[in-house]
Amino acid sequence: MSNTPMAASPLTRAVLEIDEYASGLGWDQPARLFALVDTARLRTQEPSLAAQLGLDEERETTGLTPIEQDEVPTDRALDEFLATIAWPDAVAGCALTVERLMLPPSAEAQVPQDLGEAQLAKWVAEHPERQEVRMTVAVLRDGARESALRLREKDSATEVLTGSDLVPGLAEALAATFED
């Protein structure tokens, strides 16, 4: 992708590519799951798929190619869905992009302790300091992690925050999809 920094690691580039793709779809989108495959291996083992993805013309020989998977079900909890996933050996990693409401750390002390899950979600949705965020989190089989966060109010490629431990719970859930 044109906005993806070439100096970044292959995992960071993949996360930013997925973030840019999700950004092009707009906000209020469902969660999206991606397999991350080694680009060179994909070209060798699946040349027709590589050609479909436009990878046969690229010069770069290293990197990860995100391949979007079937829709993430909306009728079950995300962690329950992720617990059902097992990846074939050809998949080097996986990534998920999901939108959530987020509160700043300063609001944590205000959270009522006696609310159920639905009541808490409603309380957060009505909080004046809430922010909509798109999180893209990726993990590799070897344990490497990367995340990208994009706030709706600062919806620009130059405002995307990246880091390996921005969404540790989601990274753990994705890493668990590679455990036997």
pLDDT for position 31: 95
Q: What's the N-to-C CA distance of the chain in angstroms?
A: 33
Phi, psi at 163, each rounded to 5°: 175, 160
Phi-psi region of 28 (alpha: psi -120 to 50; beta: other; left: phi over 0): left
Supply the DSSP symbol for 32.
Answer: E
- Cα 130 to its chain centre, rounded Å, is 21
pLDDT for position 121: 79
Segments of 60-130 assigned E as strands: 64-68, 91-102
pLDDT for position 119: 82
Using 50 as the pLDDT threshold, list the residues of the chain that sit under it.
Answer: 1-2
